[in-house]
Structures are given as structure tokens and as C-alpha cells.
Amino acid sequence: MTQQNSNNTTSVVLVGVGGQGILLASAIVAQAALDSGYDVKTNEIHGMAQRGGSVVAQIRYGEKIYSPLIPKGTATVLASLERVESLRYVDYLAPNGLAVVSDQIIVPTTVSSGAASYPTLDEETLRKYFPRLVYVRAVEQAAELGNARAANTILLGSLSTQLDLSLDAWEGAISKRVKPAFVDVNLKAFHLGRELAQ
Amino acid sequence: MTKQLLSGNEAIARGALEAGVTVVSGYPGTPSTEILENIGKFYGDKMFAEWAPNEKVAFETAAGASTTGARSMTTMKLVGLNVAADPLMTLAYVGVVGGFVAVVADDPGMNSSQNEQDTRLFAHFAKVPVLEPSDAAEAKAFTLAGYEISEKFGTPVILRTTTTTSHSRGVVELADPIALNRTPSFKSDPQRFVPIPAWARGMRVRLEERLEKLAEEASNSPLNRIEWNASGDRRVGIVTAGAAYQYVKEVFPEANVLKLGWQFPFPDRLFREFAAQVDQVIVIEELEDFLEEHMKALGINAIGKRLGDEKLVPNIGALDVDVLKEIRAKLVANPATAPLFDAQTAVEIAPTTELPTLPALPARPPVLCPGCPHRGFFYALKKFDVVVSGDIGCYTLGVAPPLACMDTVLCMGGGFTVAHGIDRAKNDRPVVGIVGDSTFFHSGITGLLDVAYNKGGATLVVLDNRVTAMTGHQENPGSGKTLLGEETFAADIAEIAKATGFKNVVEVNPRDLAQTTAALKTAIESPEPWLIVAKEPCPLAYRKKIEKIYRVDQDKCKKCGACVKLGCPAIERDADKTVRVNPAFCVDCKLCEQVCKFGALEEIDVKMGGLV
């Protein structure tokens, strides 16, 4: 199931908009890989780009990792918490890679001000760019589970089906990285995400 | 040993603890900020850690601590070293007692910086050693090594990182702190510590002697190593350092590599030894041709920034695996260098996939957050025909449409002084100079003093959001708290201005558009200098429970777009001009209500907005 490049490196790209919880999701993937005995490197965007801008987090794991930055066309999975952001990073995904995209739309100020327009991106359109796509109503479904903020963990559940990390490692990582009061809802969200990707 | 996944910055913080550092002072600046933040958060009970008002103060505080025998550290971003250049240049002459490491984080690619200066050149200029880790594990190890080198040679050491190394996490093994058990004791020795010309001349000679010894040490240091390939193929030898090393290992797996962690003073002996054993030296370094130029001066035939007539390794922006794949492709394609490579070891350029053409994607640049107090100020300022001299901070985002309300930005503190210069030139339009609260304390105060002393006429504004916001909400001299969270005196900006001689000082709430506009009108029309303090806490740093939010009453809305001109991310407009407030983003700042002439923006209970 796992897609690896010639260096036996697995690469995960997480994208979204500042404030959506990308960095927590990244920390969970990295923790699960670390606890599985892999060498791990990650990269995150800080500073100016955080202020409502486009955010990308990258995680790489394997026997020995050199670059923390993912080369184009090599990511095993790409998960996006926002529709248009998924396309901004489409060239990082390997040709046979899986995309997990939340149906959420966050209208950029460039669109509201009339300087740009938000393209029509329904599931069918996205599928043209992502032949292997899991399209999720993540925010809605997370809210139904009890907390809309767990949307990112639904996406993690879906992408976890592509990675050679055990269920124990994932659940352990969620328990370590999420605030105690929110562990249960995030575990539920994670399992829902797994089911949606089956 | 405990293994943890740490960022380069967290690893440097850990390194400071393990090295027995007892005094750290820095100024926030991406990508360096988390070093001192982590020291404050996790090791604040083990050492004195503080945010200084600026990098010069931070550097000098750490230098002072070192004279007592204590180990000290200062942290800053690339441009911060410009501010601290004065003490750096002379501390190199005077030397240090306790180990002294200045951590300077460079920003290739200018992710959060106004320039791309290469701190290795500063180390060369100042004649001090520069170390550069290539990942988080090395970031910790090199911090410890920096203190060893600093004390062995009595020299300040620069630990240079870059954005990628500072912000990438990797596996780091933790160790126990070294037990130094030192009693800080300053030993008076004016000939050693006072660089009056007569004594500085001796220091100058000893500095050169020190550099020679350091160069020899660098050639022997484990921070620099040659990785010979197992096959014995000696055609290609790559010289590299920092994050670029990681990319070299992926893209040139068959190459022999001279990996430099300690780049200056140049390890000449090691350069010559490596070059003598390979057919062709290729230098792959981020930003300037620092190593390459020196190797060429040694008579080594190195390829780097250029391959014949074409450009090879970019000197602009950050490198990555994709950039190195292009470099490799050029080397393989060029008849002069093709024989150095075997066809079967070619590294794939990104696999091309047959995808339909992407639609035009709307840009999503960083913006002022919902509820940002700067938004109200800029909205009010936009109505005046003035030149706006801005500064470095969140409020620099005021340059972006639709507020588009900033004409110049130069450097920290420049908001006031550039405005003063425009005013002195008798510009045909009035000028408004803007700094933030942290910027005011950093280097705005001297500009304020200048305007008061020399009887300038500019309107000066401090956008006081009570925190150093852009770098992630650090405390500052006006916030009333220290890095370690202790209560302290909150410097009063208006009182400081009055003490410099400003007669016209007014505080406004920038979320009150009428009040802000009235203050601006008075100040801009006055021939005298004015200071406006636009004071309102950053809603991200000082979170309040949101009780109310706004909603657009679609029956009253005339779709005029006035509210959209605020540039608020919570106000979304569709292609048919229908405006909605995103209930997840609205923080009830009340600006939109003030700009709507039709009363279409109504305040509702947050529970009515669809949120729990």
C-alpha cells in the first residue's frame, strides 16, 4: 500500500489556511512515524505567512532522511483543509499518490476585493487533478462528532490508510499531541476518516 | 538517551541548556524567535533569559555576562545583526571570557524578511568563527561546540542557521547539562577590556594570530568532514554546508562530499586536501559564493555559481532538492562536465504527470487578522492625501490592497526617521510616520527624539497593540510582562514622547474610526509635530470570549462594497456582490458597522451565528 520513492522515504504534504490546525496535524503524523522507529524530518511555515495566508507542512520519514523539504512529484499523500489550497500544491503529489480534500471553502480577501475569483471546484473537477481522491465534508462531520476543530484529524484518518504506520502508533500520537479533553473526539474523527477512505 | 523531535530552534535552545549557558538575551525576528521563546518556556528556571528592546542591547548584555566567566548567548534574525554590528566588530578585538555564541538566523528566499543578506560574510568581516548546522541534531551539537571553540580561543562565535534549518524538525538526542559550577567574577584588566587605540592596536595583532590558529583548528575539527564514496570513484567532489548538504546527499548520492559545519576561518588545509583527491570540485552553497570565491583564491578550479557561460547554483533564494536536480541536469548535459557522471546514476527530475491545466488560483497572501486594530487606523488614514512612511511588523501588511496605505518601508525604526527626512525636504504633501509598539522601543525612540529636538513637523504614529505581534506575540517593554512571564513596569509611550519634548500627544482607539480620523486631521493639518498613539490590544495575543458577532441583513444591504474595503478576512463577497460575514472568523471588532451607511451589519448573539 505504501508508496515510496527510490530512497525509501515516505512524504506527506498537509496544506490549508493559517489557523486551521495544520501544525497540530503535522505534529501527529511526525509523532506516529517517530514512535514507529523511523527517522523523521518535518518543515513548517512560520512568521509572516501565518497571518491568514496559505500554509504548508511537510513530513518525511524512512530509514534515513536527508532533506526535510519534499521534492515535487514525490509525496505519498496530500491532505488539504481547503479546496483551492489543494490545487496550489498539486505538483508535490506523486503520480499515484492519494489526495484527501476537505470541501471547506475559505474565501481569500483577494476574491472579496474583486482582484481575483474563486474557481468552481466541485468533487468532479477536483478528480481531474487528483485521480485518487477522498473528498470529505470534514468540518460538518467533525461538528457532528462534537467538535468542528477535529476536521483535520478526519483527514489524517483518511491519509493514514496509505502509510505503513500502525493503528497503535496513530492512536498513541493523537493521545500525546492533542489536549486531553479533546482526545476522544479526535480518535472518533480519525476512525471516521479511515472509514471514508476505504 | 531520550530522543525528541525538535525544530532547529528548539534544538539550539536545548543546546544552550546542555552547554551550561546562564544568560541569554535576544530580540524576536523570524526565523530566530523560537530559540529564546523555548528557553523562556522550558529552561527559564535554569538561566536568565530576556527579550531586549533591540539586538544591540541583547548582544551587549550577553557580551557583558561573558566578561564574568559565565556562558552567554544572544539570538536574532539576519537584519538584527546589522543593529548589533557595532558591538560585534569590537568584541572580536576584545575577545570573550565565558563562552559567547551569537545565533543569527538567515532567511534565504525572504520568507519573512526584507533582504537576503548572508551572515557568513558578516563573520568574515568581523573576523569571528561561523558555524552552521544542517539539521536539528547538528543545531544542538554545534551550539555545544560553539562554546568549546569560544572558550578555547577567547572569541565570540556566530552560529548561523537558515529558515529551513531553524524551522525543520528532526530527531535529537538529549543529554544532561554540563556541570560548569562557575562563580561569575569579573577580573579587572583594563588593557584586556578597554580598546583605547593604544591597547586596541595590540588586540588587532592578536586577532590575526587567533584567526590563523582557528583556521588550523577548523581543518582538524569534527564539524568539518569528508564523506568519501564507497566505490572509490573520485571524479566528483562536492563542497557544501548547511541545509544544502541534505539536498546534495539526495541528488548526488555517488559524490564525494566535503561537508562544512565550520566555514570561517576557512579550513584551507582541508580544502586543498579534498581538491587534490578529486577530479572536479563543485561548490553547492546557498546565497553568496562565500566558499567558492575563497577556494578559487587558493587556486582550486571549482565550479559553483557558474558553469562556463551559464548560471549553475543560484545565489538568489533558498535551494532545495528540485533546484539541485536542475543543477545536476545542467552538469550532465554540459560536455565539459558530462564525463564526471554515469548515465545510469541520473536522478529523476520530478515525474511529469498528465494533468489538465489548472484554473487560475486566487492568491492568498498574509493579511491583517479579523479584529486587527491596525485595520481601523489604516482605513481612517486612507482618507488623507499624505505620504505614509511605514515600518516592520504586522502593520506592514497595511501596504496590501484594499487598504494599500503605505508608501515606504526601510528598516526597524525607519518609520519615524524616513518620515522626518521627507518632512525636512519640504515635500509637497504632508507625511505620516508609523511604527509599532515593539518597533518604537527597538529604535523608534531615537527618531522621536530627533523630531522633537530638531523641531520637525511630521505626524508620528505608534500602532500600539501591546505586544510584538508579527513574530508570534512576544512581550516587550510596553507589555508589562517579561519573557519569563513576570509582572514588570509597562513603559508608557505617550509619557516617553512628552519627556522628549513632544507637546502634542494623543491616544486614540483605532477601532473608533471617528476618533481616529479626528486625531489624524488635527495632526496632519498642524505645522507642529504630533504623536498619535493608536492603542488597542492584538485580539490574538489577548483573547476575549466572543459573545457577539456580526451578520449581514441582506434586506438592508445595497451591495455597495464599503465593508469589503476594510480587507477583513471575515467579510466574504461572492461574484454576485452578495456579502456575508464568516461567523467562524468574526471577533466583533465593530468596524464594519461603522463603515456601513445602510445599517446592514447587525450585531447578533454568537449562538445565533451557527456556532456553539
Q: A53: domain CATH number?
A: 3.40.920.10
Chain B contact for A3 (CB, 8 A cutoff):
no
- A188 occurs within a structural domain: yes
CB B88 within 8 A of CB B81: yes
Quick one: average pLDDT of B14-28?
Answer: 98
3-state DSSP assignment of residue A75 = strand
Is B79's pLDDT higher than 90?
Answer: yes
Which residue of chain A is at minimal alpha-carbon distance from B323? A71
Is A5's pLDDT higher than 50?
Answer: no
CB A190 within 8 A of CB A182: no
What is the end-to-end Cα distance of chain A in Å, rounded? 12
Quick one: average pLDDT of B197-203?
Answer: 98
Residues constituting chain B: 612
Please give, rounded to a whole number of angstroms, the shortest distance from the CA of B10 to a CA of chain A.
13
| Element holding B409 (H helix, E strand) | strand B408-409
- A162 occurs within a structural domain: yes
Which residue of chain B is at minimal alpha-carbon distance from A73? B350
Nearest to B304 by CA among B333, B287, B283: B283
Q: How far apart are CA B445 and CA B450, in angstroms?
A: 9
Kind of pairing, strands A9-17 and A54-62? antiparallel
Q: Domains in chain B, ordered, with CATH?
A: 3-220 (3.40.50.970), 224-345 (3.40.50.920), 373-535 (3.40.50.970), 548-609 (3.30.70.20)
Q: For residue range B566-585, list pLDDT tens digits in order.
A: 999 999 999 899 999 999 88
pLDDT at B498: 97
Quick one: average pLDDT of B556-560?
Answer: 97
Q: For residue range B375-421, list pLDDT tens digits in order.
A: 999 999 999 999 999 999 999 999 999 999 999 999 999 999 999 99
Q: How many domains does chain A have?
A: 1
Environment class of A101 (CB within 10 Å of its CB; exposed 0-12, middle 13-18, buried 19+): buried
Q: Do B350 and A73 count as a contact with CB atoms less than 8 A apart?
A: yes
Q: Do B250 and A53 count as a contact with CB atoms less than 8 A apart?
A: no
Provide, as residue numbers in chain A, all residues whose Cβ is less than 8 Å from the Cβ of B568: 109
- Write the CB contacts of B86 (distance below 8 Å, at least 6 apart in sequence): B56
- A149 occurs within a structural domain: yes
DSSP state of A179: -
Which residue of chain A is at minimal alpha-carbon distance from B468? A47
Q: Do A40 and B353 count as a contact with CB atoms less than 8 A apart?
A: no
**DSSP secondary structure string, B327-395?**
HHHHHHHSTTTGGGS-GGGPPPP------PPPPPPPP----PPTT-HHHHHHHHHTTS--EEEE-SSGG
> What does the CA dihedral B165, B168, B174, B179 come to, rounded to 10 degrees?
40
Distances (CA, A) of B489 to A5, B69, B370, B476, B536: 57, 30, 30, 11, 18
DSSP state of B481: B
Q: Looking at B221-356, list the stretches that DSSP marks H as alpha helix, in order from N- to C-terminal side.
A: 243-251, 268-277, 290-297, 321-333
Q: How far apart are CA B439 and CA B424, in angstroms?
A: 22
Report the residue from A43, A84, A91 with minimal CB separation from B168.
A43
pLDDT at A3: 39
Instruction: Tell me, letter by letter, the H, E, C secondary structure of B128-157.
Output: CCEECCCCHHHHHHHHHHHHHHHHHHCCCE
Quick one: average pLDDT of B55-59?
Answer: 98
Nearest to B584 by CA among A189, A28, A151, A119: A151
Q: Do A84 and B366 count as a contact with CB atoms less than 8 A apart?
A: no
Please give, rounded to a whole number of angstroms, the shortest distance from the CA of A62 to a CA of chain B.
12
Q: How far apart are CA B204 and CA B335, in angstroms?
A: 49
- A115 occurs within a structural domain: yes
ipTM summary value: 0.94
Quick one: average pLDDT of B51-68?
Answer: 98
- A56 occurs within a structural domain: yes
Distances (CA, A) of A144 to A175, B1, B434: 21, 43, 47
- Write the CB contacts of B301 (distance below 8 Å, at least 6 apart in sequence): B275, B280, B281
CB B134 within 8 A of CB B242: yes
Q: Do B366 and A115 count as a contact with CB atoms less than 8 A apart?
A: no
Kind of pairing, strands A39-44 and A54-62? antiparallel
Chain B contact for A8 (CB, 8 A cutoff):
no
3-state DSSP assignment of residue B27 = coil
Q: What angle do CA B110, B114, B120 make, to 5 degrees?
A: 70
For B157, the grid coordinates are 562565535
Report the residue from A42, A49, A65 with minimal CB separation from B366.
A49
- A42 occurs within a structural domain: yes
Quick one: average pLDDT of B337-351?
Answer: 74
Nearest to A16 by CA among B364, B528, B33, B160: B364
**Which range is least confidently modeled, A86-95, B318-327, B346-355?**
B346-355
Beta bridge pairs of residue B4 = B172
Q: Do B359 and A53 count as a contact with CB atoms less than 8 A apart?
A: no
3-state DSSP assignment of residue B300 = coil
pLDDT at A4: 40
Q: Do A68 and B164 count as a contact with CB atoms less than 8 A apart?
A: yes
- A1 occurs within a structural domain: no
Q: Do A69 and B164 count as a contact with CB atoms less than 8 A apart?
A: yes
pLDDT at A46: 60
Return the number of other C-beta atoms located less than 10 Å from residue A4's C-beta: 14
Q: Do A112 and B571 count as a contact with CB atoms less than 8 A apart?
A: yes
Chain B contact for A164 (CB, 8 A cutoff):
no
For B107, the grid coordinates are 532567511
Mean pLDDT across chain B: 96
Q: Do B5 and A53 count as a contact with CB atoms less than 8 A apart?
A: no
- A2 occurs within a structural domain: no
Confidence of residue A7 (pLDDT cuts 50, 70, 90): low
Chain B contact for A146 (CB, 8 A cutoff):
no
Is B425's pLDDT higher than 70?
Answer: yes
Provide, as residue numbers in chain A, all residues whose Cβ is less than 8 Å from the Cβ of B539: none
Is B516's pLDDT higher than 50?
Answer: yes
Q: Do A67 and B358 count as a contact with CB atoms less than 8 A apart?
A: no
pLDDT at B276: 98
Q: What angle do CA B536, B415, B591 make, to 5 degrees?
A: 30
Whole domain around residue A146: which residue ranges?
9-197
3-state DSSP percent of chain A in helix, strand and coil, to 5: 45, 20, 35
What is the end-to-end Cα distance of chain B in Å, rounded? 45
How many pairs of residues across A and B have Cβ atoms under 8 Å apart? 174
Which residue of chain A is at minimal alpha-carbon distance from B362? A116
DSSP state of B567: -
